[in-house]
Amino acid sequence: MRKNIIVFGGDGFCGWPTSLHISACGYNVTIVDNLVRRKTDIELECESLTPITPIGTRIEVWKKMTSKNIGYHYMNVAEDYEGLLALFKKLKPIAIVHFAEQRAAPYSMKSPSHKRYTVNNNINATSNILCSIVESGVDCHVVHLGTMGVYGYGTAGMKIPEGYLKVKVGGDSQKIKMLYPPNPGSIYHMTKCQDAIMFYYYNKNDDIRITDLHQGIVWGTNTPDTMLDERLVNRFDYDGDYGTVLNRFLMQAAVGHPLTVHGTGGQTRAFIHIQDTVKCVRLAIENPPRHGKRVRIFNQAAESYNIKDLAQKVNELVGAEIRYYKNPRKEDAENTLQFQNEGFKSLGWEPITLNTNLMKEVSDIALKYGERCDKRKIICTSLWNKDNELDYIGSKEEVI
């Protein structure tokens, strides 16, 4: 039985613990990564709060701890099509996991070159992966990390379905199920909506089996696998570009920085713990869609929280000043967000919800490595457009 799985972007925040989990579950994992996330640390002059080891060390330590091999190829999948094709032909994977995209909304809005890089990188990565699967002739399930953000956040009252929307057209006579209309909130989110169209087309024309995971905001740092040895530790981003909100709050509290709520804090977001990310990806791999079926979309998120409430929870847990900053994003000040996640639940997933123990664990990590924090990197400096820029002039930390 073929057991090869390629994890594109397997050195990143979600990719690394996913690679370990899949390896631990008995699959032959090959990581493909150009280590761009580590290079972006250099660009942004801000490292992971946790001291991550080189990928070679990570893989060696994993081997030592578990006797399991993980393969690794340094490759830019958005550029090296021939290398990618050769890899598919050689490994004939049963599935691939596609994390190989620039994944931060603020980074994607930083400047014209960041916008253009995000589009070019993400679209060509997905295009190359799909194209090489068809050319190689390998029957391979594509599991893609997407985002809940493709839905937009303005869906008043409606529970967001899993990727498809049932509608009535033309005087109730026609009922159709269509891709949920995309409503991206940044260039990054836009590329995920563009990905969806590529998935739709390659599935239709070439019968590629695809699962697109519309993931919520990830929180937490480690998984049982990354905790086996300190050299396996997962990355922890706290900066204004790559840090995700709950981890940032917990870390801000740990280093004595006010919690940075953008705007009113009335924005509602979907969340998932990193330990559930890896579990869901594995569940998707082990339950592939059948040939002839359309792209399968799962909402990979456990629950929704309002940012203000989240800040309040952190305040209650560890004590922290909450400060309101002008919102750098162009978005509604407040929104509700309800969504379905029956797909994974039907495969046996029991979501981890926000709990004190796991929040405490993030807080402990933040305390442990707090001295590595550069406080100047905490504030988000990426602005969605010039309207936001005007607000910022002269007072980047101005309280509303």
> In the bound complex, what is the minimum distance in angstroms from residue 119's beta carbon to its own copies?
4
Q: Which of 110, 192, 279, 326 is catalytic?
A: 192
One-character DSSP codes across 40-73: HHHHHT---SS-PPPHHHHHHHHHHHH---EEEE
Classify 126 as helix, strand or coil: helix
What distance separates the 2 farthest-apart alpha carbons in the chain? 65
110 classed as catalytic: no
Q: Which two tokens stand for residue 272?
A: 């998932």
Q: From residue 252, how far is each of 49, 120, 370 by CA, in Å?
A: 12, 33, 9
CA distances from 62 to 59, 70, 71, 231 (A): 5, 8, 11, 9
Choice among 18, 50, 118, 147 that is catalytic: 147
Binding mask 294-323 for its own copies (x = CB under 8 A): ------------------------------
User: How many residues lie near its own copies (CB under 8 A)?
Assistant: 50
- Please state, as a whole number, how many other Cβ atoms lie within 10 Å of the Cβ of residue 167: 12
181 scored as a contact of its own copies (CB under 8 A): yes
CB of 385 to its own copies, least distance (A): 6
Catalytically annotated residue among 72, 188, 305, 324: 188
Q: From the CB of 204, what's the least distance to its own copies, in Å?
A: 8
Q: Which of 25, 61, 65, 131 binds its own copies (CB under 8 A)?
A: 131
CB atoms within 10 A of CB 210: 25
Q: How far apart are CA 202 and CA 20, in angstroms?
A: 29
Least distance (Å) between residue 180 CB and its own copies: 9
75 vs 72: CA distance, rounded Å:
9
Q: Which of 1, 56, 67, 174 binds its own copies (CB under 8 A)?
A: 174
- Residue 201 in the binding site for its own copies (CB under 8 A): yes
By CB under 8 A, the residues from 84 to 113 that bind its own copies are 85, 112-113
Strand partners, 294: none
Instruction: Give the integer Cα–Cα distance in Å for 215 and 99.
Output: 12
- Closer of 40 and 183 to its own copies (Cβ): 183
d(CA 213, CA 281): 8
Distances (CA, A) of 22 to 232, 277, 279, 360: 15, 12, 9, 26
Q: Residue 132, interface with its own copies (CB under 8 A)?
A: yes
166 binds its own copies (CB under 8 A): yes
Q: Kindly state whether residue 278 participates in binding its own copies, applying the rule CB under 8 A.
A: no
Q: Which stretch binds its own copies (CB under 8 A): 67-75, 122-130, 224-232, 256-264?
A: 122-130
DSSP per residue, 333-397: SB---EE--HHHHHTT--PPPP-HHHHHHHHHHHHHTGGG--GGGSS----SSHHHHHHHTT-TT
Q: At what angle do helices 274-286 and 15-24 cross, to 10 degrees?
A: 50
State the DSSP code for 241.
Answer: T
Does 178 contact its own copies by CB under 8 A? yes
Per CB under 8 A, which region of 31-39, 131-139, 217-225, 339-347 contacts its own copies? 131-139
Q: Is 392 a catalytic residue?
A: no
Is residue 342 within the footprint of its own copies (CB under 8 A)?
A: no
Residue numbers 29-88 binding its own copies by CB under 8 A: 81, 85
**With CB under 8 A as the contact rule, which of the stretches 177-185, 219-227, 283-291, 360-368 interacts with its own copies?**
177-185
Rounded to a whole number of angstroms, the minimum distance from the CB of residue 369 to its own copies is 35
Q: How far is the CB of 200 from its own copies (least distance, A)?
A: 7
Q: Hey, what are 188's tokens?
A: 């990054």
Active site (catalytic) residues: 147, 188, 192
Query: Residues interacting with its own copies, by CB under 8 A?
Result: 81, 85, 112-113, 115-116, 119-120, 123-124, 127-128, 131-132, 134-135, 137, 157-158, 165-170, 172, 174, 176, 178-179, 181-184, 186-187, 190, 193-194, 197-198, 200-201, 204-206, 330, 384-386
